[in-house]
């Protein structure tokens, strides 16, 4: 079977799962802000692991986010605008 399409498909872009470690402040509230920012940005998240410890000033979130190449270029900058985020690093 052959499918002919006379108009090029420019709307589809491949997404690649990319793993990031996000360091936050504010304990569990900071982690929840990161989750809200990912949801508000419309990023598909495959896994989300939070490490929050009592008495430690920083928490971390490790997550795998499916991003296009254009989204990957600006992901750390966009997430870094969240007040609780200290750093965003690929891992």
> Is pLDDT at 9 greater than 80 in this prediction?
no
Confidence of residue 12 (pLDDT cuts 50, 70, 90): confident
Write the pLDDT tens digit of every residue in 39-57.
999 999 999 999 999 899 9
**pTM confidence score:** 0.82
- Short-list 53, 66, 65, CA closest to 24: 53
- Short-list 35, 14, 28, 19, CA closest to 79: 35
> Is pLDDT at 82 greater than 80 in this prediction?
yes
- How far, in Å, CA of 86 to CA of 10, rounded? 36
Is 25:82 a contact under the CB 8 Å cutoff?
A: no
């Amino acid at each position: 079977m052959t499918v002919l399409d006379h108009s090029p498909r420019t709307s589809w872009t491949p997404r690649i799962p990319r793993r990031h470690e996000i360091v936050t402040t504010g304990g569990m509230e900071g982690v929840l802000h990161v989750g809200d920012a990912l949801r508000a940005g419309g990023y598909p998240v495959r896994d989300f692991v939070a490490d929050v410890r009592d008495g430690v000033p920083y928490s971390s979130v490790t997550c795998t986010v499916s991003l296009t190449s254009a989204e990957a270029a600006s992901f750390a900058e966009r997430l870094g605008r969240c007040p609780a985020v200290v750093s965003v690093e690929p891992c």
